[in-house]
Amino acid sequence: MSYTFSLDYILSVVIVNFASKINMKSTLPPDTADPVLRSGDTVERVANHLKEQILEGSLVPGQRLVSRDLMEHLGVSRGSLREAFRRLAGERLVELIPNRGAIVRRLSAAEVVSLFQIREALEGQAARLAADHINEADNRRVFQAIVKEGEALRRSMNMQAFMIHNRAFHQAIVKISGNTELALLIDRYQLAVFMAQLKQAIGAEAIILNSIDQHMAIAQAILAGDANGAYDAMKKHLWHSANSMLQRKEAATDRHFLRQPVTRKHVGQ
């Protein structure tokens, strides 16, 4: 089966989905226990703390979030923790499973394909815009400094440091693009579970070496002001990661995605 999505169509679907998720989160049933401890500040702090741990790879896909341990470690009530779990579920970072509680979300092969189609449209456009704006203000100097930091990781092979750098690299491209709405959408679909599952699939060293090489190709195009080249390099980078994940999926329900690598027809090109 082939997919034929235009960039405008994908962006329109993303925006509608983004808005519906926000509305969904705002109508979640409130907890009645511990209203003081479950203040907005407390819930926000707990949700942000757990999100950062997922983003940095400290919490991995499939890992169960043990409420009792987290309550003790963070010094919060069960009600606050439950509400934080709900927020993270709304951001699709965790799953809430009856009788098991919250676990860090693990993506299926179908989700990987669908979400990388969206990421190609969003992050490819960000790279294209970044190439157009690279010579404005201090963009070039800041971006070159981030690229140089990535080069240093070839020697250290520190996965956690790389994950932090990887976020900084992609966020810098979005910032340079100058499109704040695009930044909001990319933040939603640049799920941390991608990187964590990729680490499980091919290992830290392969991720670091491959990604830095691909980052360099993206950076060269952006620094040269080559908008189309930047889009193509970003697309290649994203789908290399997607293929690595898909080729190593083991679940029987996902096997129909594994018979062939992700190709141009999967992304409607």
What local confidence, expressed as pLDDT, does residue 217 receive?
A: 97
The string of DSSP letters for 45-63 reads: HHHHHHHHHHHTTSS-TT-
**What number does CATH give the domain 109-264?**
1.20.120.530
Confidence of residue 12 (pLDDT cuts 50, 70, 90): low
With 0-12 CB in 10 A as exposed, 13-18 as middle and 19+ as buried, what is 230? buried
Structural element, H or E, at residue 230? helix 227-246
Q: Rounded to the nearest 10 degrees, how much is the dihedral formed by the CA atoms of 106, 111, 117, 122?
A: -50
- 30 token code pair: 């409130």
Question: How much of the chain, in percent, has pLDDT values that exceed 90?
Answer: 41
- 124 token code pair: 């490819």
Residue 142 has pLDDT above 90, yes or no: yes
What local confidence, expressed as pLDDT, does residue 16 receive?
A: 45
- 40 token code pair: 């907005």
Phi then psi dihedrals of residue 143, to 5 deg: -65, -40
Mean pLDDT, the chain, whole residue set = 78
Structural element, H or E, at residue 123? helix 109-133
Q: Label residues 166-192 b or e (16+ Cβ within 10 Å = b).
A: bbebbbbbbbbbbbeebbebbebbbbb
Q: What does the pLDDT look like over 218-252, one tens digit per residue?
A: 999 999 999 999 999 999 999 988 887 777 654 43
CB atoms within 10 A of CB 261: 13
Q: Which of 79-83, 106-110, 181-185 bottoms out in mean pLDDT, i.e. has the lowest? A: 106-110
For the chain, residues classed under CATH 1.20.120.530 are 109-264
For the chain, residues classed under CATH 1.10.10.10 are 31-104
User: Which CA distances in Å does 17 have to 20, 85, 125, 186, 238?
Assistant: 5, 20, 19, 13, 21
What local confidence, expressed as pLDDT, does residue 179 receive?
A: 94
* Section 149-164 average pLDDT: 85
Q: What is the pTM of this model?
A: 0.65
Structural element, H or E, at residue 97? strand 94-97
Q: Which of 38-42, 73-77, 122-126, 218-222 bottoms out in mean pLDDT, i.e. has the lowest? A: 38-42
**CATH topology classification for 31-104:** Arc Repressor Mutant, subunit A (1.10.10)
* 156-165 contacts, C-beta under 8 A, 24 or more apart: 157/204, 157/205, 157/208, 159/57, 159/199, 159/204, 159/207, 159/208, 160/56, 160/57, 160/58, 162/204, 162/207, 162/208, 162/211, 163/55, 163/56, 163/57, 163/195, 164/56
> Which of 25-29, 41-45, 199-203, 224-228 has the highest mean predicted lDDT (pLDDT)?
224-228
Q: What does the pLDDT look like over 172-217, one tens digit per residue?
A: 999 999 999 988 888 777 655 666 666 665 667 888 888 999 999 9
